[in-house]
Amino acid sequence: MFLSVKGLTKAFGELQVLNSIDLTIDEGNIITIIGPSGSGKTTLLRCLNALEIPDQGVLSFHDGFEVNFGQKVSKKQLSKLSRKAGMVFQSYNLFPHKTALENVTEGPLIVQKRKRDEVLQLAKSILNKVGLGDKMDLYPHQLSGGQQQRVGIARALAIEPELMLFDEPTSALDPELVGDVLQVIKDLANEGWTMVIVTHELKFAEQVSDTVIFMDHGQIVEQGHPSQVLKSPTQERTSKFIKRVINP
């Protein structure tokens, strides 16, 4: 077990977005989350690295680190939680006034206070790894959407997290740019990264996932092996959603 999630609950005012989510993530596993808009997928990801603070629930990691949101949680705990997970956003979220290299070095230098020479070497290595070694001095507006998203992946990797979170990483991309980004994620999967990916790319989910989760109305409706959930779902809500995605 890498991470255990128990009773994770989150509301925004009267709107209950997550309703007592229970989830176990094993080390090196790739979990993809599918479901309609507004089902709580993104909020769940954001709760896993303290971008949103749950109302209730316990996160327990393999190394004994635990955060119980039913009790008072310290800034130190939230900081440690945020360092455990690297987040790749739907809309890139790059600093427009910084080069690709500067975007990647920002977290390790400013937040983690690591040595500049070490961080530069790491950042250049990661940008090469995602196929952008020749683009590191360019600014976001000089890069395609797919290249910007690969910078986003490199930036998340640069903090050297234990867990990678992807929030619909290809949904803002033109169709011809999707393949390059998915290939980078597949390469990370082959390296044994533990990942949670929110996606509408069902074929991709089938190819890379150990587990597929279908969420609706803030709850996990169904979860299991990709071939089971995507090909032979047991829940009618899952079946209807998959048919809508395949035949919009």
Give the torsion sign (CA, 60, 64, 65, 68): positive
Domains along the sequence of the chain with CATH: 3-92+166-246 (3.40.50.300)
Phi/psi for 32 (5° steps) reads -110, 140
Q: Which residues of 88-124 are buried (b: 16+ CB within 10 A; e: fewer)?
A: bbbebebeeeebbbbbbbbbbbeeeebeeeebeebbb
pLDDT value at residue 248: 64
Crossing angle for the helix pair 145-158 and 116-129, nearest 10 degrees? 140
Tell me the percentage of the chain whose pLDDT exceeds 70.
100
pLDDT recorded at residue 142 = 97
Q: Which residues have CB under 8 Å from 15's CB, separation 6+?
A: none
Mean pLDDT within 42-60: 96
Query: What 8-state DSSP symbol labels residue 5?
Result: E
Mean of pLDDT over the chain: 93
- Phi–psi pair at 47, nearest 5 degrees: -75, -25
Q: Are 39 and 218 in contact (CB under 8 A)?
A: yes
For 108-151, write each residue's pLDDT tens digit.
Answer: 988 888 899 999 999 999 999 999 999 999 999 999 999 999 99
- Beta-bridge partners for 224: 212
**Which tens digits make up the pLDDT trace of 179-231?**
888 999 999 998 999 999 999 989 899 999 999 999 999 999 999 999 999 99
Q: Confirm if 103 and 94 have CB atoms less than 8 A apart.
A: yes
Integer Cα distance of 76 and 74 in angstroms: 5
Q: What integer pLDDT is reported at residue 92 of this predicted model?
A: 86
